[in-house]
């Protein structure tokens, strides 16, 4: 037997606090009977409904690695009706992306319905390394390169890449391809790093996330993580 609000929260329907509010406002039924007090316990066989919708008990945890295409938004829904990363994955589970990639950024993004792992991986103190490949406008001078390598202040906070190297320089087109690894996850952070040096990012791709890489996945393709990979992510703790 478990408390009703806990079962609702574990189902992924909403948070425990919101579940309590729903119960108090008379929106929740157990086996057809409206419950308005907290503290009621339910068992596996009980039918729980919220506003007439049946609540599925705790979802099986699912983990996906997607090669995000350009022009897809890193969220579950979008008020402008743009394509979302979750719509590319064939599952009924309530998955969501772990962190964000910009609309025009491509590459590796993880999705799951495992809130514990997602929170852990997204927390800045946990130092999960991500590697990006940026095509930039112009060519970094040695001093600009060194400034970024040493650590650059973005919006009042210093970001020190764990790794940076130039992959290719196109003198004719005046562009450069730079590989950069960082552990933090602020929005638009890679673009901001190069913009601070007056180089716009023309293209951005995330190639790795912790020990995970895209492998042979093409744009828009995805795969499930193996049990071993999920354990390894948990062990980054």
Place of tokens 């979802």: 59
Q: How far is the CB of 182 from ligand URA (least distance, A)?
A: 8
Strands 201-209 and 212-213: antiparallel
Q: Which residues are registered as beta bridge partners of 170? A: 175
Nearer to ligand URA, 19 or 101 (CB): 101
Place of tokens 């992959």: 167
* CA nearest to 215, candidates 67, 87, 44, 97: 67
Handedness of CA 46, 49, 54, 60 (dihedral sign): negative
String of b and e for 136-162 (b: at least 16 CB within 10 Å)?
beebbeeebbeebeeebebeeeebebe
Contact 104, 201 (CB under 8 A): no
DSSP line for 37-76: STT-EE-TT--EEETTEEPPPSPPP-EEEEEEPTT-BSSS
Nearer to ligand URA, 95 or 190 (CB): 190
Q: Which residues are registered as beta bridge partners of 222? A: 66
Q: How far is the CB of 190 from ligand URA (least distance, A)?
A: 3
Q: How far is the CB of 189 from ligand URA (least distance, A)?
A: 5
Q: Which of 102, 104, 114, 200 is catalytic?
A: 102
102 is catalytic: yes
Site for ligand URA, rule CB under 6 A: 101-102, 105, 188-191, 204
Nearer to ligand URA, 102 or 207 (CB): 102
Q: How far is the CB of 217 from ligand URA (least distance, A)?
A: 18
Nearer to ligand URA, 102 or 144 (CB): 102
Q: How far is the CB of 159 from ligand URA (least distance, A)?
A: 10
Handedness of CA 77, 81, 82, 88 (dihedral sign): positive
Residues 6+ apart with CB under 8 A from 26: 34, 36
Nearer to ligand URA, 91 or 181 (CB): 181
Q: Which residues are catalytic?
A: 102
């Amino acid at each position: 037997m478990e408390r009703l609000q806990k079962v609702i929260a574990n189902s992924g329907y909403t948070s425990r606090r919101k579940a309590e509010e729903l119960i108090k406002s008379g929106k929740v039924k157990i086996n057809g009977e409206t419950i308005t007090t907290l503290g009621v316990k339910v068992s596996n066989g009980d039918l729980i409904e919220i506003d007439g919708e049946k609540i599925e008990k705790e979802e099986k945890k699912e983990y996906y690695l997607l090669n995000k295409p350009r022009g897809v938004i890193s969220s579950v829904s979008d008020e402008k009706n743009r394509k979302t990363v979750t719509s590319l994955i064939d599952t009924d589970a309530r998955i969501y992306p772990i962190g964000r990639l910009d609309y025009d950024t491509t590459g590796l993004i993880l999705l799951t319905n495992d809130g514990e792992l997602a929170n852990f991986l997204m927390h800045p103190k946990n130092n999960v390394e991500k590697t990006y490949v940026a095509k930039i406008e112009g060519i970094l001078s040695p001093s600009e390169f060194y400034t970024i390598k040493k650590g650059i202040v973005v919006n009042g906070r210093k970001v020190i890449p764990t790794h940076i190297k130039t992959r290719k320089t196109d003198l004719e087109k005046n562009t450069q391809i730079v590989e950069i690894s960082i552990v933090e996850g602020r929005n638009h952070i890679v673009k901001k790093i190069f913009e601070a040096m007056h180089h716009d990012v023309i293209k951005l791709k995330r190639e790795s996330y912790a020990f995970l890489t895209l492998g042979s996945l093409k744009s828009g393709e995805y795969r499930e993580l193996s049990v071993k990979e999920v354990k390894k992510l948990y062990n980054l703790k």
